[in-house]
Amino acid sequence: MSVDTRGAAQEIAASYDSGKIDRRTFLRRMGLIGVGVAVANAVSLSPLGAVKAWAAISGPEDRAWALAKEKAAAATKKSLTLLIPTGSIGNMTPYVDKWKNELGVSLEFIEEPDEVVHTKGMQEAVAKTGRYDVMMPTAMSYPDWFDSGLIYDLTDWTEKYQPDLFNKEWGVVFPASHHAQLYNGRVVGLLCDGDQITLLCRKDYLEKPDKAKAFADQYGYPLDAPKTWKEYYNLAKFMHDPKNNFYGTLEYRSRYYCKWMFMQRLASKGSLWFDQDMNPTFNSPKGLEVLEDMLAVNEFLHPDAFSFTWSSNYNAYGRGEGFLNIVWPSGFKYSKAPSTGPATTGKIKATVMPADTLPDGTNLYAGMFCWGYGFAISKYSANPDLSYAYAQWMTSPTISADAIPYLGGYSDPYRVNHMLAPTERLIETYTTDYLKILYNNIVNTVPDFCLPGGFEYQDALDKEVHACLTGDKKPKDALDDAAQQFDRITRRKGKEKVRKSWFALTENLAEPIKIATGRGNWKL
């Protein structure tokens, strides 16, 4: 259907809705349009015609909106139900009225605690109630959800309606575009939240002349935000002042969070989580070095580091209780806002995650893409096309840029245009400098365990790393035990199946990381 024809159809529908024409006239006119479109299609279009027709509509949001209009008009059930994590609703509620008023579609949100969303999905895979249309898990959920038949493969939809996921100017930033949306090379979710970790430090302390002099005298290089993990350690040590309730760093040591701290450092050393044969790689000299480094930093940690959740961590940093912190983009927002960062507003310097120095002397910058919500479409939805249209519309370049800055939601920048061509509201929320840092960091991110059994791998690693950091286990024992559990999970899930996914997941990495990890030489 061309844009003009669609416009005509919309006008007729609007006239009918407002009572200007009767039902008979409405059906006759729509019928005429339908015949016209059918003839045009038959005469002019190749098999790719439909794709071209949709692509002709100006942008992903327009294509999504056109699809939504078409499907909303045809739908018998005029509502969409979204399963979302508690706390994320703020990015979606501003559009509820638009969907209701212009499409007649009500949006119903089922909020569940973050840790329950995956379980609710698996439950739905068994119960098949059709209660959810759109579901908003982290990318970690996709493999298990897809394999259990819960969610659609969105690839055909994305080819037809072109959400511009991989566009160089406004697509989702590579490689998160692949790690957080694809499973075995197929699109299974549309990312709506750019969760990566970045480093914050206190600018006001860096600018103190006495501190700068003392630091330079002690370490032989100027006081600045850390570029390497070695510099990070030095800074944590130098700034640590527990007598004044000011600690070197607020890096997480708590359960659920500490594995990401470990994985981040491991990636900086040029190591992924498995080799090409699905052998765990972390129970190695590199993994041991990482744990030793983390144990060394323990001395300069905030005393609550072993019990931090993201919110208590942000609050402690916002109260001015430390120099360094490793945060998701929301952490920067917390530190910037006077209400949540009373002691840090205007005093923050952010940077990409520190590098590690490889044996050849080069610095390897790596980031962690972790958490990161996205939209998946339930196979038991009564309105899958309409659900997809909603997901594409919400994650489209312009609507997402509008949605992210709203308060009360978890969405953080994830498309190129969010970071390199931001709107005023995005700049106001994140600042131009921080958006550039987000971009520079995300291009080097490595994926989380977005594999079958991903949560099991994560938990096994987290448990053992935590046991080591709390002193319950020696580093080697902890890593060997985690590796043993990894092998069990791999065996149980099916080695070839997981290996295939691992290859697909790691196929897209930043070039330096590909080289450092040797991923480029792997053979399936």
Partner 1 sequence: MLNRPLSLAQIPLIVIGLVLCLFPIFWLVMTAIKPPIDWNASPAIWIPSEPTLINFRTLFNPDAIRAYGVGGVSQAATRAVMGSILASISATFLAVGLGLISAIGLSRYSRTNWATPLIILSGRMFPPAAIAVPFVIIFSLTNLMDTYPGLIAVYTAVTLPFSTWMLKSFVDDLPREMEEAAMLDGKSRLMAHLTVTVPLIRGGIFSTTMLVFILNWSEYMFAQVLSNTELATIPVQLAKYVTATAGTLYGVQAALAVLAMAPLIVGGYFIQGHLARGLTFGAIKK
Where on the chain is the footprint of partner 1 (CB under 8 A)? Answer: 81, 86-90, 93, 108-114, 116, 119, 123, 126-129, 131, 245, 304, 309-312, 314-316, 319, 321, 330, 339-340, 407-410
Nearer to partner 1, 330 or 490 (CB): 330
CB of 131 to partner 1, least distance (A): 5
Q: Which is nearer to partner 1, 128 or 491 (CB)?
A: 128
Smallest distance, Å, CB 123 to partner 1? 5
Provide, rounded to whole angstroms, the least separation between the CB of residue 113 and partner 1.
5
Structure tokens at 465: 């790393």
Cβ proximity to partner 1, 319 vs 514, nearer residue = 319
Q: Using alpha carbons, list the distances in angstroms from residue 201 to 262, 302, 347.
A: 20, 14, 8
Return the number of the residue (2 or 245) whose C-beta is nearest partner 1: 245
Q: Smallest distance from the beta carbon of 54 to partner 1, in angstroms? A: 33
Three-class DSSP labels, 459-497? HHHHHHHHHHHCCCCCHHHHHHHHHHHHHHHHHHHCHHH
CB 138 within 8 A of CB 374: yes
Q: Return the number of the residue (20 or 128) whose C-beta is nearest partner 1.
A: 128
Alpha-carbon gap, residue 122 to 287, rounded angstroms: 33
For partner 1, which is the closer residue by CB, 110 or 295? 110
State the distance between the two ends of the chain, measured CA to CA, in whole angstroms: 43
Is the Cβ of residue 16 or residue 256 nearer to partner 1 in the bound state?
A: 256
Q: Compute CA 467 distance to the chain's CA centroid, rounded to the nearest angstrom.
A: 28
79-85 and 134-135 as β-strands: parallel, antiparallel, unpaired? parallel
Query: Shortest CA distance to 236 belongs to which of 297, 160, 279, 304?
Result: 297
CB of 224 to partner 1, least distance (A): 28
Q: Is residue 390 within 8 Å of residue 103, measured between CB atoms? A: no
Give the nearer residue to partner 1 in terms of CB position, either 41 or 123.
Answer: 123
DSSP code of 100?
I
> How far is 506 from 370, CA to CA, in rounded Å?
15
Shortest Å distance, C-beta 139 to partner 1: 18
Least separation in angstroms between CB 87 and partner 1: 5
CB closer to partner 1, 111 vs 480 = 111
- Residue whose structure tokens are 């020696």: 474
Kindly state the smallest distance separating residue 160's Cβ from partner 1, in Å.
31
In terms of CB distance, is 120 or 253 closer to partner 1? 120
Q: Which residues of 119-157 are buried (b: 16+ CB within 10 A; e: fewer)?
A: ebbeebbeeeeebbbbbbbbbbbbbbbbbeebbbebeeb
Contact of 478 with 411, CB cutoff 8 Å: no
Nearest distance from residue 406's CB to partner 1, in Å?
9
Helix (H) or strand (E) holding 56: helix 49-56
CB of 439 to partner 1, least distance (A): 22
Give the DSSP H/E element, type plus range, for residue 82. strand 79-85
Burial of residue 377 (number of CB atoms within 10 Å: 0-12, 13-18, 19+):
buried
